[in-house]
Amino acid sequence: MRLMLTLVSVLVLIACEATAPPDPGPVGTVRVDQRMGGTADPGFARAITVPEFTFPRDHGPHPEYATEWWYFTGNLHTSTGHRFGYQLTLFRIGLEPGMPVTDSAWRTHQIYMGHLAVSDIGSGRHHSAERFARAAAGLAGAELGPLHVWLGPWSIRGDPVATFPLHLSAQGEGFAIDLRLERGAKPRIDQGEQGLARKGATPGKASYYYSFTRLPTHGEILIGERRFAVSGSSWWDREWASSAMPASQVGWDWFALQLTDGRELMFYRLRDQDGRTQAFSSGVLVSADGAHRKLQAADVRLEATRHWQTDDGIRYPVAWRLAVPDAGLDLHVETAFDDQEMHHSVRYWEGAVGVSGSHNGVGYLELSGYAR
């Protein structure tokens, strides 16, 4: 689903500073659901009707909406079988609608945040980093002609003619990615109702959401002084909205799986305070030829089979049984290694997983709203 990480209070503080971002406080003190409980400024547009996507325009920014993101995950490997997972996400957050007064190069209504992670599956180590910047003085922004989204030195660049291939480049302390994502044969998947992904019954509790579920990928990953030539496949989620999650939703479990038979499965389970699956949980099953069908909550059986606990007591469900009976799928989804927690201004678990059972594959799992 990826409707996450709008760090409203932290980002407002950043907007008021003319230099470096403030210290957001002790790492790991904020949960995702706690930052999604408000209501967007009524001056922002809302996702209410089925969209008419236009490309390449919709790959670019939508400043009339409060929040949007460009979200990439992937499973990669070297020629000798050393495996990696990666995540690169750039978020744009609107602090208020409309254009700011142009009396200063620092004044802006837009803030950008980024998360970068590399899971070194071969060594069982998770590397991650976080960045913030205002969309002013060239520090961060998004534009078309060609697609370019940047946050300091982190960037997503598209081909000037066809958007693809995409070039992802980002660096953390002691690690980096430099990747090229090809278009491949799979079509774009418009999630939900032809791109309108509802999260609740109230009009506007929704996002505009599309995905590219299998992008051939190659490039380099840097870990310390070692460079690894890698290849594999990536998943790109593109989403924008102006509405927070309903108060009854405390978190979600999100699966993006690429199966060896050529199919992909995405499903997000929205949870209430008692851990029950909410009715607007949703997903999609994509066939090898690109045809797809929407999945409702009743179509999917989910059961957590193992948990991992952090040193300070947060328990994440890191192994699952996921079944779609009428599609012949009975899958065991388990983390490539347990400690892939994103422990930054907002705390959540996101990492590479393996798939076994009725079918094999790889994928990514995101777990939000878990607390001590």
Mapped onto helix, strand or coil, the DSSP state of residue 326 is helix
Predicted confidence band of residue 349 (pLDDT cuts 50, 70, 90) = very high
The answer to whether 36 and 3 have CB atoms below 8 angstroms apart is yes
What residue has token string 């490309």? Answer: 55
pTM to 2 decimals?
0.90
User: Is the residue at 296 inside a domain?
Assistant: yes
User: Is the residue at 3 inside a domain?
Assistant: no
The domain containing residue 357 runs over which residues? 8-368
Q: How many CB atoms are closer than 10 A to CB 371?
A: 12
Q: Hey, what are 266's tokens?
A: 């995405």
Q: Are strands 226-241 and 189-190 parallel, antiparallel or unpaired?
A: unpaired
- Quote the CA–CA distance of 11 and 18 in Å, as a whole number: 13
- Quote the CA–CA distance of 334 and 332 in Å, as a whole number: 6
Q: Distance from CA of residue 175 to its chain's centroid?
A: 20
Predicted confidence band of residue 328 (pLDDT cuts 50, 70, 90) = very high
SS (H, E, C) 111-145: EEEEEEEEEECCCCEEEEEEEEEECCCCCEEEECC
Average pLDDT over the chain reads: 89
User: Is the residue at 143 inside a domain?
Assistant: yes
Share of the chain above pLDDT 70, in %: 88
Residue 152, by phi and psi: left (phi above 0), alpha (psi -120 to 50) or beta? left
Number of domains composing the chain: 1
Q: Which of 42, 6, 34, 45 is nearest to 206 (CA)?
A: 45
Predicted confidence band of residue 40 (pLDDT cuts 50, 70, 90) = low
User: Is the residue at 348 inside a domain?
Assistant: yes
User: Is the residue at 53 inside a domain?
Assistant: yes
The answer to whether 154 and 171 have CB atoms below 8 angstroms apart is yes
Residue 184: pLDDT above 50?
Answer: yes
SS (H, E, C) 12-36: HHHHHCCCCCCCCCCCCCCECHHHC
Residue 82: pLDDT above 90?
Answer: yes
Q: Distance from CA of residue 34 to its chain's centroid?
A: 18
Q: Which of 310, 315, 319, 351 is nearest to 127 (CA)?
A: 351
User: Is the residue at 244 inside a domain?
Assistant: yes
Predicted confidence band of residue 273 (pLDDT cuts 50, 70, 90) = confident
pLDDT of amino acid 102: 77
CATH number at residue 99: 2.40.370.10
Mapped onto helix, strand or coil, the DSSP state of residue 260 is coil
User: Is the residue at 137 inside a domain?
Assistant: yes
User: Is the residue at 221 inside a domain?
Assistant: yes
